[in-house]
A = this chain, B = another copy of it.
Amino acid sequence: MLTPLQTDLASVVEGVNLVWVLTVTFLIFFMHAGFAMLEAGQVRAKNVANQLTKNLLTWSIGVIVFFLLGAAVSSIVAAFTGGPATTISGAFMSLYAPEASATTAWVDWLFGAVFAMTAATIVSGAVAGRARLRAYLTYTILIAGVIYPVVVGFTWGGGFLSALGFHDFAGGMIVHGMGGIAGLTAAWIIGPRMDRFKPDGTANVIPGHSITFAVLGTLILAFGWYGFNVGTAAAPLAYADGGVSLGSFAYVGRVALVTTLGMAAGAIGAGGVAMYKTGKVDTLYVANGVLAGLVGITAIANDIVWPGALVVGLLAGAQLPVVFEFVEKRLQIDDVCAVFPVHGSAGVLGTLLYPVFAVPLWHDGASFVSLAVPQVIGVGVIAIWTFVATAVVFGGFRAVGQVRVSSDHEREGLDTAEHGVDTYPEFGSPDADTGIRTD
């Protein structure tokens, strides 16, 4: 039986942990503003409102689906693959009508929900400028209700990848790798924007309409990312055996340091390679390099030695211009906002590099192979599942001719065609009628 004092301390611990989880949840939610601005800045002026609408609806529709369905799906998938046992009705009712502590159940759900919505919203940047709203929103419902929850069931929920020892601290693979792969798959199936590639197959650059908004989005994302990574050290204090100790805050300094060094090195890596290739420091590469660096260390921020953060960040940044060019020129996939190099390949890279810089390897004598194998398997499983599920959904829509807007609408711009608005009625000259440039 707890003494009054133990009750007091347990309450204090619960209160402090809730304060922290809520604060970082809000920060992660704010990343939607970051994605909205980053993507809006990287699309043509005639498609800005479409991009913004998708972002708003991804959150709005997705979070309801994740409450009504997704969270339960991940518990059920976890239970079926070796995680904590639950019944199907129990999985739903533990959220719909939590018995013990509604406070904790619902706050924990929201903390999970903002990660889920991050994965979902990444996709919209890849398919900008031509995806049909209906197809996109259907995919949003499925990623929030099934596709992402399955991945969580396998991993954080306690399923087989978790049992295997797969290490993904804050979603470098589970959230970002997955989102990036889903985006690439969707962009591949939908096909490029018109005039994105010339008849001879060479690429035609279609610049975004505002670097300022793109950089603003980058910095909002970096701000929210501190919540994403550092916040994943979700329980500052632990209460056990009648005593209080630092809980996951025992390693919060490492997470904060690694996150900071990783993002900084990412900007330098991407900017440096861009400079090497063109002689100029491309602003968008530097900005996206910040994000690639962050993605790169997200899976491993709690458990690598800090020099590893510099290396992983540099590599995650450096691969960005290279992979972007590969996707564009070799694969001829029109990944508008570079979501694959920023979230996909950077996430995969960082997750796989865990054994190289892991604290257990450097300080505790763990074997490289025992650390590496689960990472390879985890990345493989998540990548394949994401690719297949996404391909089925968008492939289905393509089969019935519903995956992209008509070419008239694409030329005119999705803002007018799908939303009946002009984002900037007083600026610029709509080029829809000239017939000269249609990008």
Contact = CB atoms under 8 A, between A and B. Distances in A.
A203 interface: no
A343 interface: no
A297 interface: no
A57 B246 contact: no
B49 A211 contact: yes
Interface string A1-35: 00011011101111110111011011101101100
A265 interface: yes
Interface string A204-248: 000101111101101110110011001000001100001111110
B209 A425 contact: yes
Interface in A174-223: 207, 209-213, 215-216, 218-220, 222-223
Given A209-B425, A426-B428, 11 more contacts: A11-B244, A15-B236, A19-B20, A22-B252, A26-B230, A56-B287, A57-B286, A60-B266, A280-B419, A284-B421, A424-B427
13 contacts: A19-B236, A22-B230, A22-B252, A56-B267, A59-B267, A60-B263, A61-B268, A63-B260, A209-B427, A210-B423, A216-B216, A278-B420, A283-B423
B26 A207 contact: no
A17 to B, nearest CB: 9
A110 interface: yes
B27 A423 contact: no
A131 to B, nearest CB: 14
B253 A418 contact: no
Interface residues of A, number: 118
Given A27-B26, A60-B290, A207 B257 contact: no
A213 B214 CA distance: 13
**9 A-B pairs with the lowest CB-CB distances in the bound complex, closest first:** A106-B253, A33-B219, A60-B267, A103-B253, A280-B420, A8-B244, A60-B264, A15-B236, A49-B283
A436 to B, nearest CB: 14
A375 to B, nearest CB: 24
Given A8-B243, A283-B49, A223 B256 contact: no
Contacts of A252: 18, 22, 103, 107
B210 A268 contact: no
B207 A425 contact: yes
Contacts of A49: 211, 283
A237 B12 contact: yes
B210 A424 contact: yes
B427 A236 contact: no
B52 A283 contact: yes
Contacts of A245: 7, 11
B212 A48 contact: yes
A285 to B, nearest CB: 9
B236 A64 contact: no
